[in-house]
């Protein structure tokens, strides 16, 4: 099979790239090793920056998001027995974030691609990426019991942290990485959220976050040991910790309900440079991971794809190569700013195992300064609602 752009992975990055290329009249084929059902029901965080929301709306992908997404004009910080609301709309000229599950974004993108006749091959396991330094790179893959080959002009590796895309160029990459000494215990509960906006709480027993999937479904997180066992977290203990960490400073009671899902996720920062080799380009989790505190994961992937789609359009429509040559540098400027913001939010709000009393007082002073200074609040809000793409 032959196409202009071969895309590894049918997550938000790969699907968005295929959609944007379609709007430019450029052919692509998406290879995904999982089933369509698995991809559409893979639950991930869903806080969308204003720039991501605008892009989805502008490119015809936002109809259902506009109906079902929860628009938030601020978040709340709770610490030292008090609460402070950060008003994004006031601080950023009316910008906001939207809570809309990543799996919902994926469903919308799949529907749009299939409706337009796009080629998405599910349960197509890529086994090798070859000849990326040539003008005809290839992807070998297994589909419907046969070994096949996809020849293309360019390859976009949007296949996640464990995909084969980055492995194809791993010898020439510089890796920057940090592991944090804590993780997040996340739960999905059949209970209404205690508040209409996200609450970030720094408590002496650990960080917690109140989020939501819908007005009837709460998504909640607790700082924990990344090596802990879920057996040590029965429902009763989870609710007790949530009450302790979130109901501070006169905050509302956290409604309880059946816990539908629970999992523990380790936290890390990861970046590879450069994000390109020959005619292969890395995007999304294949190139970078951020701790979830800053809500940047999927938004960073979207930013990569906007830059890559523009570069490919310049090549195919105007025979320009400058966008392709600078893809990595342009993306990395935004990625490192998001890494800084995510690291800063994580460091300010979590209790570190080896922290001293001095460290504790510094954290509280940082929170007190940020919530009491309009310029500091503007910097936080500007980063949270999303820096411009490219």
For the annotated catalytic residues, the residue numbers are 72, 200, 292, 296, 384
Q: What backbone phi and psi angles, to 5 degrees, belong to 250? A: 80, 15
Angle in degrees, 0-180, between the axes of helices 12-23 and 297-318, rounded to the nearest 10: 30
Cα end-to-end distance, the chain, whole Å: 32
Instruction: Give yes or no for a contact between 382 and 90, defined as CB atoms under 8 angstroms apart.
Output: no
In the 8-state DSSP scheme, what is residue 388?
P
Compute the distance between CA of residue 143 and CA of residue 147 in angstroms, rounded to an integer.
7
* Residues 6 or more apart whose Cβ sits within 8 Å of residue 75: 85, 86, 88, 197, 198, 199, 200, 384
Compute the distance between CA of residue 188 and CA of residue 262 in angstroms, rounded to an integer.
7
261 burial (CB, 10 Å; 0-12 / 13-18 / 19+) is exposed
Instruction: Give yes or no for a contact between 223 and 184, defined as CB atoms under 8 angstroms apart.
Output: yes
């Amino acid at each position: 099979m032959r196409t202009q752009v071969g895309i590894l992975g049918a997550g938000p990055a790969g699907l968005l790239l295929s959609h944007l290329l379609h709007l430019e009249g450029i052919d692509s084929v998406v290879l995904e090793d999982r089933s369509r059902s698995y991809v559409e029901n893979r639950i991930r965080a869903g806080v969308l920056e204003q720039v991501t929301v605008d892009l989805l709306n502008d490119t015809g992908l936002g109809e259902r998001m506009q109906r079902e997404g929860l628009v938030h004009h601020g978040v709340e910080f709770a610490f030292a027995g008090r609460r402070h609301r950060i008003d994004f709309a006031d601080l950023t000229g009316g910008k906001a974030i939207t809570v809309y599950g990543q799996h919902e974004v994926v469903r919308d993108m799949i529907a749009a691609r299939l409706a337009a006749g796009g080629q998405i091959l599910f349960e197509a396991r890529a086994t090798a990426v070859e000849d990326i330094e040539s003008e005809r790179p290839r992807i070998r893959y297994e589909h419907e019991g046969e070994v096949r080959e996809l020849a293309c002009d360019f390859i976009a590796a949007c296949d996640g942290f464990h995909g084969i895309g980055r492995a194809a160029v791993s010898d020439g990459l510089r890796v920057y990485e940090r592991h944090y000494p804590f993780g997040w215990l996340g739960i999905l509960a059949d209970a209404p959220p205690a508040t209409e906006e996200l609450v970030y709480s720094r408590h002496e027993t650990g960080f917690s976050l109140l989020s939501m999937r819908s007005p009837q479904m709460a998504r909640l997180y607790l700082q924990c040991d990344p090596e802990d066992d879920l057996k040590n977290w029965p429902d009763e203990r989870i609710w007790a910790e949530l009450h302790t960490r979130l109901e501070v400073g006169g905050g509302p009671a956290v409604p309880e309900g059946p816990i539908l899902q629970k999992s523990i996720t380790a936290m890390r920062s990861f970046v590879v440079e450069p994000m390109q080799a020959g005619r292969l380009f890395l995007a999304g989790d294949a190139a970078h991971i951020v701790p979830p505190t800053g809500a940047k994961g999927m938004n960073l992937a979207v930013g990569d794809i906007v830059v890559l789609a523009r570069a490919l359009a310049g090549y195919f429509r105007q025979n320009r190569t400058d966008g392709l040559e600078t893809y990595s540098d342009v993306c990395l400027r935004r990625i490192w700013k998001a890494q800084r913001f995510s690291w800063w939010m994580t460091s300010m709000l979590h209790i570190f195992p080896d922290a001293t009393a001095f460290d504790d007082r510094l954290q509280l002073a940082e929170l007190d300064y940020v919530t009491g200074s309009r310029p500091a609040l503007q910097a936080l809000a500007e980063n949270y609602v999303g820096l411009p793409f490219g």
